Structure 1
Amino acid sequence: MQIVSLAFEHLAEALRTDPIDESDEHARWAIYRAAVADEALLGLIYEALKDERESSLASAVVVLVLERTERSRHAEWIDILGDEHRGFSDRRSAELGILEDLMSERIPMVMVRDSLGEWSDWLQLKIAESVRISDVLEFVSREGRTKRIRRIASESLRTV
């Protein structure tokens, strides 16, 4: 019985990795994680994930890919996952959309004020690290959920 798909084998070959224990999901994760950094390998990743037997591993890889692909392609990646494993990827896709819209100033400050408490720690941290809008950073530096988020927002505010 073949443990991994032919697409995964091609992925490992494309990365020129040493042979791995294909039954070890941590070893497969390392291959996927390295491959995601190379946009030319996304097609192979997509095909390999269709046959990935560890749904939690597939979900983690999809989330990595979402962070590196256009929002318009998120649904096709999320569709690889079974219905019971789409929740986290759906949420991350939505969060990435909020981050993109915020960075492009398509989200009004009133929405930030009204929604920050509902946004995940991950999204708040990404906002603190990535957004360069002083009103947003000032608000997050006061109202961010954790000390770390507030500190990073304050530090980012100084560079705006």
Structure 2
Amino acid sequence: MSLAFDRLVETLRADPVDASDEHARWAIYRMAVTDDALLDLLHGALKGEEESPLVSAVVVLVLERTDRSRHAEWIGILSDEHKAFADRRSAELGILEGLMSESIPIVIVRDSLDEWSDWLQLKVVESVRTSDVLDFFSRQGRTKRIRRIASDSLRTV
């Protein structure tokens, strides 16, 4: 493993970690994601990580917790085969942010809903508190679960 990973383990004061075990590394990375002060060290550790699916999973977690202005640097450490998913998640997070700030009009939601992942639709109905958006999702959400959550949320708005 890399020196950055060893420093991450030390900084987290984690029990000794079998660095050859990807599940143990995943646990360390997940702890690091929750601490903004460790993100630079985490970034360095991920650059030395050999398991590209593991790097991808951690990067997606980081994208959900960091400012969009930093997304490109995180996506940049991914292998080509994993960049498309991370790019899409970054774009989806931008849509979610726009809906939460009410800077995206409902007409955009209506016109682009079919392109949205179930993940984004679920995040929208769990996070957005705008009655027209929730009403639309209560009728047009892709899954029963999304429609139900939107309906339930609509009652509390």
| TM-score normalised by structure 2 residue count | 0.97
* Alignment pair present for 1:54 and 2:24: no
Distance 2:67 2:143 in 1: 29
Query: 1:20 aligns to what?
Result: 17
Equivalenced residue count is 157
**4+ residue stretches of structure 1 with deviation over 3 A?**
none
**Which deviations, in whole Å up to 9, do the C-alpha atoms of 1:49-101 show, x marking residues without a partner?**
11110000001100000000001110011001122221111110000001001
Distance 1:99 1:122 in 2: 11
SS of match in other structure, 2:65:
coil
Query: 2:140 aligns to what?
Result: 143
Could you tell me which amino acid in structure 2 is paired with residue 47 of structure 1? G
Match of 1:105 among 96, 102, 106: 102
Query: 1:68 aligns to what?
Result: 65
15-24 or 91-100, larger mean C-alpha shift: 15-24
C-alpha root-mean-square deviation of aligned residues, in Å?
0.8
Could you tell me which amino acid in structure 1 is paired with residue 86 of structure 2? S
For residue 114 of structure 1, report the CA deviation from its aligned partner: 1.1
Match of 1:37 among 34, 40, 51: 34
Distance 2:4 2:18 in 1: 16
Distance 2:141 2:20 in 1: 41
For residue 153 of structure 1, report the CA deviation from its aligned partner: 1.0
For residue 24 of structure 1, report the CA deviation from its aligned partner: 1.1
Distance 1:76 1:12 in 2: 22
Could you tell me which amino acid in structure 2 is paired with residue 111 of structure 1? I
Query: 1:125 aligns to what?
Result: 122
Distance 1:12 1:159 in 2: 43
| TM-score normalised by structure 1 residue count | 0.95
For residue 133 of structure 1, report the CA deviation from its aligned partner: 0.5
5+ residue gaps, structure 2, are: none
Distance 2:46 2:25 in 1: 11
